[in-house]
């Protein structure tokens, strides 16, 4: 494993990683290098990548390298390894990508905290945005885990999974969700948020107005200096960031897909209005059906917790949980503010990645 003492330069880190993987088989070496290159180098056009025919030994090697050096990497990725299919899915983090589940996780966290009516409650729920699901090599954008503690036994159950698709193929995210459900068939609710841009992002072309104005500057602009070129204040996340004649980020829509469990494990390929709903946050807000389905999932979470408490500690305080009122009260305007900040952040990140990339 690589040393983590001191803060290495990019060249030092690359040299250390090369020494770490130099003993690998030629094919493994190439695959490991491809993954690390995607993680380490500026790639403004690519927020997401898939690596096929990649075997577990390579995934394990890359994981060790990232885990021991993540403080010095541009950003720690979120990834999923589909062991049966030998596919590694790697997502780069961004404020846009994180915004929906930052908002929802705060709502769910407060909701679930209300069930801690006694200190000896045997059920503990944890909401996380950086949690590797048990029995899989998947890290969803959000997961809620229920842990039950009895005198001689601990058990864990994943009850909610959330995923966001931004600047990536929706089909690959749906494949990831299916993988997660297969590993946790008792999950009660799955939420997928799809954030689309008007067109796939492309960096400024050579000799374009942006290239001539920005790329030739001797040092990169600060966030405030970069955005001062916009001219007008962005008041909505669907307004484009256009600087030096180039569109750096322009969101088109934000859509929610919600599934809850019936008698069988969730199947995201089957349309069933009793168990699935869609909603649009913008440009034209229509979240009624999605809100109702999320509230239905919250009721199922409450009832599941009550049932598990009854089994673990019969006759305790189950009635208080069962009688608690469930109401999903999102402030979608707050999420829109978060998305607006994400648009600004993404635009600047793309500028810096482009400016810092080799000519």
- The model's pLDDT over 137-154, given as tens digits with 9 standing for 90+, comes to 899 999 999 988 776 767
The pLDDT value recorded for residue 13 is 52
Residues 6+ apart with CB under 8 A from 53: 31, 86
Tokens coding 289: 């059906």
Over residues 222-226, the mean pLDDT reads: 95
Question: Which residue bears the tokens 């994180």?
Answer: 98
Q: What is the CA radius of gyration of the chain?
A: 23
pLDDT of 192 over the 80 cut? yes
Domains in the chain (CATH in brackets) are: 10-91 (no CATH), 95-198+252-328 (3.90.1570), 209-249+339-356 (no CATH)
Over residues 64-83, the mean pLDDT reads: 78
pLDDT of 332 over the 70 cut? yes
Query: What's the pTM?
Result: 0.88
pLDDT of 194 over the 90 cut? yes
The pLDDT value recorded for residue 205 is 93
- The model's pLDDT over 29-68, given as tens digits with 9 standing for 90+, comes to 678 888 888 887 767 788 889 999 998 988 988 888 888 7
pLDDT over 70 for what percent of the chain?
85
Question: Which residue bears the tokens 């509230």?
Answer: 295
Return the exposure string of 321-353: e unless at least 16 CB atoms fall within 10 Å of the residue's CB, then b: beeeeeebebebeebbebbbebbbbbbbbbbbb
DSSP state of 286: B
Please tell me which residue, 13 or 231, carries the higher pLDDT value.
231
The pLDDT value recorded for residue 7 is 47
């Amino acid at each position: 494993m690589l040393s983590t003492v001191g803060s290495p330069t990019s060249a030092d880190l690359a040299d250390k990683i090369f020494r770490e993987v130099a003993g690998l088989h030629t094919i493994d070496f190439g695959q490991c290098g491809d993954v690390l290159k995607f993680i380490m180098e500026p790639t403004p056009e690519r927020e997401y990548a898939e690596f096929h025919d990649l075997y577990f030994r390579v995934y394990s090697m890359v994981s060790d390298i990232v885990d021991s050096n993540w403080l010095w990497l541009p950003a720690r990725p979120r990834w999923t390894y589909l062991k049966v299919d030998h596919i590694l899915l790697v997502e780069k983090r961004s404020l846009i990508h994180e915004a929906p589940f930052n908002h929802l996780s705060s709502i769910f966290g407060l909701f679930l905290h209300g069930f801690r009516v006694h200190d000896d409650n045997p059920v503990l729920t944890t909401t996380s945005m950086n949690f590797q699901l048990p029995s899989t090599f998947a890290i969803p954008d959000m997961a809620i885990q229920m842990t039950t503690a009895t005198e001689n036994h601990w058990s864990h159950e994943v009850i909610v999974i959330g995923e966001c698709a931004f600047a990536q193929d929706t089909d690959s995210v749906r494949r990831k969700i299916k993988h997660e459900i297969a590993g946790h068939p008792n999950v009660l609710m799955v939420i997928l948020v799809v954030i689309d841009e008007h067109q796939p992002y492309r960096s400024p072309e050579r000799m374009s107005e942006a290239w001539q104005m920005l790329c030739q500057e001797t040092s990169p602009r600060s966030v405030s200096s970069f955005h001062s070129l916009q001219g007008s204040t962005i008041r909505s996340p669907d307004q484009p960031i256009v600087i030096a004649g180039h569109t750096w980020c322009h969101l088109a829509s934000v859509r929610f897909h919600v599934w809850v469990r019936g008698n069988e494990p969730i199947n995201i390929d089957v349309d069933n209005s009793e168990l699935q709903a869609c909603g649009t946050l913008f440009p034209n807000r229509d979240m009624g059906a999605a809100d109702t389905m999320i509230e239905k999932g919250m009721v199922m979470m409450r009832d599941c917790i009550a049932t598990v408490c009854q089994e673990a500690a019969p006759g305790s305080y189950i009635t208080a949980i069962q009688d608690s009122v469930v109401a999903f009260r999102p402030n979608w305007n707050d999420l829109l503010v978060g998305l607006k900040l994400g648009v600004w952040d993404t635009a600047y990140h793309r500028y810096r990645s482009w400016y810092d990339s080799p000519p």
